[in-house]
A and B are shown apart, each in its own frame.
Chain A
Amino acid sequence: MMLTTARGTHNKKKWVWVLLIALALSFFVWRINAVREIFQSALLVVATPLWRVEQGVLLGAERYMSLFSSKRALVEERARLEEKNASLATKLATLPALRKENKELKDALGRYTPEVSMRVGRILAYPNRSPYGVLVVDVGAEEGVRQGDIVLAQNEIAIGTVSRVSAHSSVVMPFSSPGQKIPVLLGENRVPVTAEGMGGGDFLIRLPKDIPVAVEDVVLFPDAGMHVGGTVGAVRITPSDPFQYVLFQAPVNVYELFWLQVVSEEVSSQENTQREL
């Protein structure tokens, strides 16, 4: 009888301790944001070198494994890449002229076009690391990155936005994160619609059937400086449904990238005055 009572008291004490610790921790985390910052900095001190070593090992392994590729496969791949390169070079040749013309037209119409600065960041952690599906890059507030900055791949493809900034690292939320909604311009007619992220660089658009959409139509992200977001991969139409479903994908696979570009709008006092006027 005595034993049962002692055990019961012990259990009660344990309950109270658990509850107290949980409450104290919750209050601590919720109330004092600085604690989080310190904790995060301490974690990043350990994590960043480890992530860098991991990237180095992965890159080294990839290079080492490429030694075992057959000669024929390499020749074939080289020919394919040369062909692709020539085609891309032709397309790219018109780009600077078009950009210049675009800027001149905007200036002529009195539209404010902000100057931007670009920072190159190395990917430290890929979206599969966390259930949030985010990327971690090694540039942060000290390098001039701000929350809301646009993140590009290969200087052209919009990947996401900077969601949280630390001193030397930033968390990037990809546009394609599941449930994320983003306004896009679809196809040659630039139809404004809303795309929903499906994860892994995939997006879904639901729009009326009578709007013409074709496979390989380009999708632009107006909120990300009119950068390319992807190309249409498939259009799903069913006779009973008044809507069509457009699936599009980012032209790059995030897992194959090592570097990203973070684009920030340069805001100077002169520009601020111009903007106000």
Chain B
Amino acid sequence: MKNGMKRLCANAGIFLSLLLFPWWVTLILAIASVFLIGDFYELALWAYAGDTLYGTDASRMFHSVLLIGGVAFFVFLVERAKKMTRFY
């Protein structure tokens, strides 16, 4: 499968899982996508989408910022780790 197609499938899978499956399924899919696809920074957008859909009033504002920043940082760390790994 081509990289672009892989990325598209991963995004569609995460979006559907966000709406239809328990959160831990989405989490597994997201982590797998980060490791299988390069620079999967759009995950931050999906995290934000999840927070927007299900977030309570208490989890607004600064929580969203932390969430997006945290996810982007996680993807960045994984990318760094990938570069240091022979497997990739």
Interface residues of A, Cβ cutoff 8 Å to B: 18, 21-22, 25-26, 29-30, 33, 36, 39-40, 43-44, 46-47, 50-51, 54, 125, 128-132, 134, 136, 147, 163-164, 171, 173
CB-CB < 8 A to A40: which residues of B? 52-53
Please tell me if the beta carbons of A128 and B52 are within 8 angstroms of each other in the complex: no
Please tell me if the beta carbons of B22 and A129 are within 8 angstroms of each other in the complex: yes
Write the chain B residue with the least CB distance to A125: B54
Please tell me if the beta carbons of B49 and A39 are within 8 angstroms of each other in the complex: yes
Task: List which B46-88 residues lie within 8 A (CB) of chain A.
Answer: 48-50, 52-62, 64-65, 68-69, 72-73, 76
A-B residue pair count with CB separations less than 8 angstroms: 80
Distance in Å: Cβ of B73 to nearest Cβ of chain A: 7
Of A22, A26, A50, A130, the residue contacting B50 (CB under 8 A) is A130
Q: Interface of chain B, helix or strand or loop or mixed?
A: helix
Is B20's beta carbon under 8 Å from chain A?
Answer: yes
Write the chain B residue with the least CB distance to A162: B57
With A129-B22, A131-B23 known to touch, is A21 a contact of B72 (CB < 8 Å)?
yes
Of A43, A51, A171, the residue contacting B56 (CB under 8 A) is A171
Interface residues of B, Cβ cutoff 8 Å to A: 19-23, 41, 44, 48-50, 52-62, 64-65, 68-69, 72-73, 76
Write the chain B residue with the least CB distance to A22: B72
Give the docked Cα–Cα distance between A241 and B47 (Å): 44
Please tell me if the beta carbons of A132 and B68 are within 8 angstroms of each other in the complex: no
Closest 9 CB pairs of A and B: A130-B54, A163-B56, A128-B22, A26-B65, A22-B72, A40-B52, A30-B65, A29-B64, A164-B57
Please tell me if the beta carbons of B55 and A43 are within 8 angstroms of each other in the complex: no
With A39-B49, A47-B19 known to touch, is A26 a contact of B57 (CB < 8 Å)?
no
Give the docked Cα–Cα distance between A21 and B41 (Å): 10
Give the docked Cα–Cα distance between A43 and B22 (Å): 18
Please tell me if the beta carbons of B72 and A43 are within 8 angstroms of each other in the complex: no
Give the docked Cα–Cα distance between A50 and B15 (Å): 12
Please tell me if the beta carbons of B76 and A18 are within 8 angstroms of each other in the complex: yes
Of B53, B56, B68, the residue contacting A22 (CB under 8 A) is B68
Give the docked Cα–Cα distance between A39 and B47 (Å): 13
CB-CB < 8 A to A163: which residues of B? 56-58
Distance in Å: Cβ of B22 to nearest Cβ of chain A: 4
- The 22 sampled A-B contact pairs (Cβ below 8 Å) are A18-B76, A21-B41, A22-B69, A22-B72, A26-B68, A29-B64, A30-B61, A30-B62, A33-B61, A36-B60, A40-B53, A43-B52, A50-B19, A125-B53, A125-B54, A132-B56, A132-B59, A147-B57, A163-B57, A164-B60, A171-B55, A171-B56
Distance in Å: Cβ of B56 to nearest Cβ of chain A: 4
Of the listed residues A21, A30, A39, A46, the one surrounded by the most CB atoms of chain B closer than 10 A to its CB is A30
Distance in Å: Cβ of A84 to nearest Cβ of chain B: 31
Of the listed residues B50, B56, B59, B62, the one surrounded by the most CB atoms of chain A closer than 10 A to its CB is B56
Give the docked Cα–Cα distance between A40 and B60 (Å): 13
CB-CB < 8 A to A30: which residues of B? 61-62, 64-65
With A54-B20, A171-B56 known to touch, is A25 a contact of B62 (CB < 8 Å)?
no
